[in-house]
Amino acid sequence: MSRAPKTHLIRDTNDRAALDLMLSDGPVTKTRLGELVGLSKVTAGQLLTRLGDRGLVQVVGTQQGGRGPNAALYGVVPSAGYVAALHIGPDQITASVADITGTELATGELDPHEASDPVEAVRATVANATERAGITIEQLRCLSIGTPGMIDPRTGDIRFANDLPDWRAGVLEDLRRSFQRPILIENDVNLAGLAEQSAGATHGVKDSVLAWIDRGLGLAVIVDGRLHRGAGGGAGEIGYLAVPGASTPHGTDSPQHAAFQSLVSVEAMDTLARAFGLSGDGVGCVRSAVEGDPDAEPFLDELARRLALGLAGICVVLDPELCVLAGEVGRAGGEVLAARVQKAIASLGPNVPTVVPTAISGDPVLRGALQIGLDTARDEVFSNQG
């Protein structure tokens, strides 16, 4: 390798390290940046000048020092790039727009039934959110989408989504053709798992699973710190898991009335609550049990037993350190349900993870989508300028 290409590589590496540092730690002085990145004060100054010329860094304030004038604080320019993230559901599409620093600028919503096809639905939702954010669609660097169903890890396109019949193979190309910029589609539960890993209960945990218990079921699998999608993108489709007490699923038909999902989905819990003579929906009964309603205690015990039937088998295969209960049910059950599920798992096998409720507030799918969108946008913005 000649000296010039090697010099450029070192410079580019240092530039990216400095930008990532400012994104994670906030504004820094030239002296502090040099200390953290391992550069002399002169080299750190040259780096900041270079990034400033590229429109990536600016002075955002000053810091009082000892003797002499105050030191300038440098931070990433928020308007260097923007991303939009979407959570696609059967009854609602939610969008979030953020700048390159990750600061959310606006949100938007749309009833998917108001649009004729997925591209129109996405475009309408994004247009609404970008308008509220005070930017245009053309200023977006990336669009990331979380959706139910299986995503082909080789192509990034949807294989199938039972709850979203219009979202099928070919949607990714249609979206890229319409927006003319990077488009990412990821399974919604996987995104919830990434959000949990980034800033939730599994942060710093190498091996974990997140069980999404809601209208449908899903599992995000983190192995050795990395999301595991499987050869065909179907890792974590636990709704199809054959368990005692449930009928056997057939092919890719929705497992709503078969397999693990037929025992613990929101719909199944409604039925279970009625079987225990409780009024109201199943999620409400979970909340009642957590709040100490003695009439709802047996219902919660049975729900924990049912959840353990599926999760114990998963733990035998994967042996995770941590199992997170998420989705509407996981959030409603909190620590009370998590403790009962852990106890029930312990009675069924040798591998017993710590079971905890999700630590992510708001919409974890949208948060995870924003995370992968920012990763892509930053790679493009930080490497393709200059």
* pLDDT tens figures, 48-64: 999 999 999 999 999 98
> Beta 140-147 vs 150-151: how paired, if at all?
unpaired
Does residue 352 sit in the same domain as residue 222? yes
Residue 2 lies in a domain: no
Same domain as 316, residue 342: yes
Residue 199 in domain: no
Same domain flag for 318 and 245: yes
**Do 158 and 16 share a domain, yes or no?**
no
Handedness of CA 221, 224, 227, 228 (dihedral sign): negative
CATH number of domain containing 211: 3.30.420.40
Number of domains in the chain: 3
Report the distance separating Cα 332 and Cα 344, nearest Å.
Answer: 18
Residue-level pLDDT at 115: 87
Same domain membership, residue 140 and residue 214: no
Does one domain contain both 123 and 267?
no
* Domain match, 98 and 228 both: no
User: Is 127 contained in some domain?
Assistant: yes
Under the banding of pLDDT at 50, 70 and 90, the label for residue 324 is: very high
CA 48 to chain centre: 32
* Residue with the larger pLDDT of the pair 265 and 83: 83
Residues 246 and 258: beta-carbon distance below 8 Å: yes
Q: Let me know if residue 1 belongs to a domain.
A: no
pLDDT in tens, 5-43: 677 888 999 999 999 999 999 999 999 999 999 999 999
Residue 323 and residue 221 share a domain: yes
Q: With bands split at pLDDT 50, 70 and 90, how would you rate the model's confidence at 216?
A: confident
Range(s) of the domain holding residue 39: 7-76
Same domain, 154 and 22: no
pTM comes to 0.93
How far apart (Å, rounded) are the C-alpha atoms in residues 220 and 236? 6
Judgement on whether residues 232 and 330 belong to the same structural domain of the protein: yes
Whether residues 66 and 182 fall in one domain: no
Q: Which residues pair with 143 in a beta bridge?
A: 84, 183
In a shared domain, residues 341 and 287? yes
